[in-house]
A and B are shown apart, each in its own frame.
Chain A
Amino acid sequence: MIKTPASPARRRVVFAAGLLASLALPGIEALAAAPSGEPVLFGVSGPLTGPNAQYGAQWKAGFDLALDEINAAGGVLGRPLAYVFEDSQSDPRQAVGIAQKFVNDRRIAIELGDFSSPASMAATPIYQRAGLVQLGFTNSHPDFTKGGDFAWSPSISQADAQPLLADLAIKTAGLKRIAVLHLNTDWGRTSKDVFVKAAAERGATVVAAEGYQADEKDFRSTLVRIRDAKPDGLVLISYYADGALIAGQARTVGLQLPLVASGSVYSPKFLELGGDAVNGVVTNTTFFPEDPQPEVQTFVRQFRSKYNREPDAFNAYAYDAVQIAAAAIRTAGSTDRKAVRDAFYRIKDVPSVVFGKANFDPNTRRVIGVKSVNLIINHGKWVVWDGKKALAAAK
């Protein structure tokens, strides 16, 4: 087993993990010339402290893995790729300051983040004016890329993803009267609106839709309200922590209905936090470790060996974002910021864990299409679901 050294610069501002990794990895990667010279930097604005710190930590795991791989294969433009992570706490005020800092730092070729829409979109005008690409890889807010032609997002477009969830819920799982529980954030709300429309087109009725706040933990009353609408199934537009709470409490209010959840719950944490209650939950995810596609297999194998745990969706998003950034810099042939932006119009079929092949729509500046695998939780494990096995109610 190739042992990858842990990121040596976790506490340092500039992460040059990849450089060391490439020196420590003889074997196949030795074929590629070791990158040398000043590292090419990307800036990351994201939460390392504060209420969203968990997502910043997941990003880092994904970034470091992607860097190991890219730098072992020769880096970009013959130089190592590295990053500067500034903690924004998802606070718009700090994100604006960080944006100015990155813009001024001529070593930075592209920026990734921020996590939340308020922080990301507050920084967009600064990146746009200075002409530095802001790759908002978790920013699904429909207006994010409207901030200008330097705002790009490989986050899954809900306009593409929610109809697939509707297909799963209505065509595969056979639901007719659906109750939707969604995070009351810009993401959850946008997703819900698309889903409701898609459900109507497929002949199902949404009998109840309840938005809850991200820090909510008690769902019993909401679930009773949902029960009274007499649905034949629940659709969760949730993240893993809240999704697991809802699944756990559904049975305590006597709600024994099939649960269909958006792909954002896909995480080993969903199983850990949900326990027995999430058995039978189905979801469609863009990322699934057993996906035979080579990009996914490489990612999963390397993630397991580096971190000794299972990757989740946010790790995959972060990993993909670095791959896309590297592809753009390679295509640009330089670290010139405008050249990097122009490269986004030209990059095609970037190997991606989430999309298979990522291609940007030059008009929306978002990735076109979405792949999806239907999964069911069976005895505490995610397995591919063909829709034939009877859909177990959350018990």
Chain B
Amino acid sequence: MTSWTSWLDHTFNGLIIGNVYALMAVGLALIFGVSNLINFAHGSVYTVGAFIGWAAVTYLGTPLPVTIGLVLLGSALLGMAIERLGLRPLAQSVRIAPLLATIGISFLLDQVVQLLVGPDPRALPNPLPGWRIQVGTGTIGALDLLIAGIGLLSAAILYGFLRFTQLGWAVRATAQDREAALQMGVNIHAVNQTVFAIASALGGLSGLLVGMYYNNISPAMSFQATLKGVVAVVIGGVGHVPGAIVGSLLLGLTESWGVALFGTPYRNLFAFVLLIAVLVWKPEGLFGRRRSLPPEPLTGTFVAPSRPLQLPRWVWPAVIVLLGVLPWLLQPFEQGSYVLITLSNAWLYALLGLSLTLVAGTTGQISLGHAGLLTLGAYASALLALNFQLPVGLAIVLAGLLTSVLGTALVLPALRLRGHYVSIATLGLGEIVALVVLNWESVTRGPIGVSGIPPLTWAGQPLDSGPGFYWLTLGAVLVVAGLQTRLLRTHLGRAFRAVREDDVAARSYGVSPNRYKALAFAFGGFAAGIAGATSAHLFSYINHETFTSQISVLALTIVILGGMGHVAGAVLGAVLLVGLPELFRVAVEYRVLIYGVTLLLLVRFRPQGLLGTV
């Protein structure tokens, strides 16, 4: 039914949006190539660039070339500052530290922009002449051509720079082997700073141009931009600049054709399925050269090497008893039940943290898709209780098992990936879960969501908050934590750590990494599934947006804060990260800012986490 001309139009539209993604992807690819880092702050630089341009046009009335110059300059300076203040101090730290730092910087920048200009979207009119060229039945304008031109030009300049200049050689040398480059007398700090300046200048410029393209900029636009950019970069092959452009165009085409075939709601689903397909089929990307094994995760490079904090043996029983009697201690206080529900939430996040600390900390698979497991558990339990009238307690346990099976099955194709690729694949899987929930209406009720989810009951009384719910969630945490502690002391726990420390060595000792990774996901899936299911019965209503990808980031922060792989650390991390933002409530809009700064300080001064890595 779709005619040939429509296909042409769809193809053409795919190329146009791909063109827009490419601007973002080029900078990301450059940083990824040199620093081996997914720069989550790149989207925020893009936002800052757009607002620098907006401020220049609005307050100074600058013409376009001057605006572009200011944006390039401002964004480059911002990039250099990020490198100098945020990342260079972490150069000697573990691999995970800079990744987390970019997340913290991103929170910080977005929030600063929002505090300065307000949260409203703003118009950024396109000053270019209004002529349009007819292509098929659609048209393209001067801005489309400018975006394509700048994308190609920057790729060409970068290619020339990397290939033919001395600094470019230094950049490539650093990308290949940091230590060797250092020995050859390359000033790698200068190289990194140059790379961040160039990439950020491009990122800021893309924010300006894309903002003009849509005539719409807002402080909330950075996450989507980073997400699409990362997908495009991975498709093209990380660190490969022309590859990033081709990857972006392919991503645009896939989305556009996906819309043509199945309709608009499926759009992002296609983007992420393409991502997973590329990762499974050709993890180095379409253009990436199959490099010799990346230098991670070799011993201690990915997870901070440290000795866990030793606490006297009596501490844990004492803490448990104290937590157990807390509801009685809090009784006289007016806000006692608020503290209890906050702690109950912390226990649910502790379950999530326990799940991730096993997968990421013990087994070394940094998952950025754990919110997907919560969603699976929540929907499974809600639908079991509503459609089959199962008792809620039973539904929660079954949901845990289902999440364990489904989560492991989903992640199976990604098990052979390593390092950052695992993070990107799980990020994609998390998005896929949310999108399937949104689109599979006959089961999940689509965007309307599931309402009227019955609460947990105990002896006929609903356990929907208060002491009962507190004890139940605390109990679940203690059981899972106990099991996990036991597990880590067994042969299985040692095998998990062997996989994390050195997967080649583990294999040569006869430990099959994939099987152990799958086991870790299965155990972790159960804990996360129970957390999601219990939340669903607390909330009484869930939809595909109840557990956003922000929660995946929060989960990782919990794990790193507590200490990767540390069971009690995950619980402590959850209490702090759920509790502190509540304490910061007095700061209103500055709350997220404080959170971002805390995260950065933590990464800077205690990358191994509060209780240390196990």
Residues of A within 8 A of B (CB): 11, 13, 48-51, 53-54, 56-57, 85-87, 91-94, 96-97, 100-101, 103-106, 116-118, 121-122, 124-126, 129, 141, 143, 146-147, 184-186, 188-190, 210-213, 215-218, 220-222, 224-225, 227-228, 241, 244-245, 248, 251-254, 269, 272-275
Report which of B214, B447, B541, B585 forms a contact with A245, defined as CB distance below 8 A: B214
Q: Which of B72-80, B133-141, B148-156 contacts A (4 or more CB under 8 A)?
A: B133-141
Given A96-B345, A212-B265, A186-B449 contact (CB < 8 Å) = yes
* A residues near B543, Cβ cutoff 8 Å: 117-118, 186
A49 touches B114 (CB 8 A): yes
Q: How far is the CB of A55 from chain B (nearest CB, A)?
A: 8
Q: Which of B119-127, B199-207, B480-488 contacts A (4 or more CB under 8 A)?
A: B119-127
A125 touches B334 (CB 8 A): no
* A residues near B120, Cβ cutoff 8 Å: 54, 57, 269
B337 touches A221 (CB 8 A): no
Q: Please provide the chain B residues from 184 to 231 with a CB less than 8 Å away from any CB of chain A in the complex.
A: 214-216, 218-220, 223-224
Judge whether B591 is part of the interface by a CB distance below 8 angstroms: yes
Given A49-B111, A87-B588, A210-B264, A118-B545 contact (CB < 8 Å) = yes
Judge whether B2 is part of the interface by a CB distance below 8 angstroms: yes
In whole angstroms, how far apart are the Cα atoms of A40 and B451 in the complex? 33
Report which of B121, B255, B438 forms a contact with A54, defined as CB distance below 8 A: B121
* B residues near A217, Cβ cutoff 8 Å: 214, 216, 224
B447 touches A185 (CB 8 A): yes
In whole angstroms, how far apart are the Cα atoms of A92 and B539 in the complex? 7
B1 touches A122 (CB 8 A): no
Judge whether B273 is part of the interface by a CB distance below 8 angstroms: no
Closest to B451 in A: A143
Given A93-B578, A121-B541, 8 more A-B residue pairs with CB atoms under 8 Å apart are A87-B591, A118-B545, A143-B452, A225-B260, A227-B137, A228-B3, A241-B121, A252-B140
Q: How far is the CB of B375 from chain A (nearest CB, A)?
A: 12
A and B contact pairs by CB, cutoff 8 A, 17 listed: A53-B119, A87-B588, A93-B535, A104-B335, A118-B449, A118-B539, A126-B465, A143-B451, A184-B446, A190-B448, A212-B264, A218-B13, A221-B10, A221-B259, A224-B137, A245-B216, A254-B139
Closest to A216 in B: B267
* A residues near B125, Cβ cutoff 8 Å: 275
* B residues near A212, Cβ cutoff 8 Å: 264-265, 267
B586 touches A13 (CB 8 A): yes
Q: How far is the CB of B468 from chain A (nearest CB, A)?
A: 13
A224 touches B451 (CB 8 A): no
Q: Which of B14-22, B300-308, B401-409 contacts A (4 or more CB under 8 A)?
A: B14-22
B540 touches A122 (CB 8 A): yes
Report which of B10, B337, B545, B591 forms a contact with A224, defined as CB distance below 8 A: B10
Given A11-B588, A87-B591, A118-B539, A221-B451 contact (CB < 8 Å) = no
Q: Which 5 A-B pairs have the closest CB atoms?
A: A122-B539, A121-B541, A53-B119, A220-B13, A221-B259
Q: How far is the CB of A24 from chain B (nearest CB, A)?
A: 24
Q: How far is the CB of A14 from chain B (nearest CB, A)?
A: 11
Judge whether B256 is part of the interface by a CB distance below 8 angstroms: yes
B216 touches A141 (CB 8 A): no
A54 touches B119 (CB 8 A): yes
Q: How far is the CB of B362 from chain A (nearest CB, A)?
A: 26
In whole angstroms, how far apart are the Cα atoms of A101 and B585 in the complex? 12
Given A13-B588, A225-B260, A184-B438 contact (CB < 8 Å) = yes
Judge whether B237 is part of the interface by a CB distance below 8 angstroms: no
Judge whether B177 is part of the interface by a CB distance below 8 angstroms: no
A273 touches B121 (CB 8 A): yes
B1 touches A228 (CB 8 A): yes
* B residues near A85, Cβ cutoff 8 Å: 588
Closest to B210 in A: A217
A146 touches B585 (CB 8 A): no
Q: Please provide the chain B residues from 1 to 52 with a CB less than 8 Å away from any CB of chain A in the complex.
A: 1-3, 6, 9-10, 13-14, 16-17, 20
B588 touches A129 (CB 8 A): no
In whole angstroms, how far apart are the Cα atoms of A106 and B216 in the complex? 43
* A residues near B20, Cβ cutoff 8 Å: 218
Report which of A116, A146, A185, A188 forms a contact with B451, defined as CB distance below 8 A: A146
Q: How far is the CB of B199 from chain A (nearest CB, A)?
A: 22
B540 touches A49 (CB 8 A): no
Judge whether B356 is part of the interface by a CB distance below 8 angstroms: no
Closest to B585 in A: A86
* B residues near A216, Cβ cutoff 8 Å: 264, 267
In whole angstroms, how far apart are the Cα atoms of A13 and B585 in the complex? 9
In whole angstroms, how far apart are the Cα atoms of A253 and B10 in the complex? 10
Given A92-B539, A97-B582, A253-B138 contact (CB < 8 Å) = yes
B13 touches A49 (CB 8 A): no
In whole angstroms, how far apart are the Cα atoms of A275 and B130 in the complex? 13
* B residues near A269, Cβ cutoff 8 Å: 120-121
Closest to A57 in B: B119
In whole angstroms, how far apart are the Cα atoms of A189 and B10 in the complex? 25
B585 touches A53 (CB 8 A): no
* B residues near A125, Cβ cutoff 8 Å: 455, 464-465, 540
B263 touches A225 (CB 8 A): yes
Judge whether B132 is part of the interface by a CB distance below 8 angstroms: yes
B334 touches A189 (CB 8 A): no
Q: How far is the CB of A177 from chain B (nearest CB, A)?
A: 16
Judge whether B514 is part of the interface by a CB distance below 8 angstroms: no
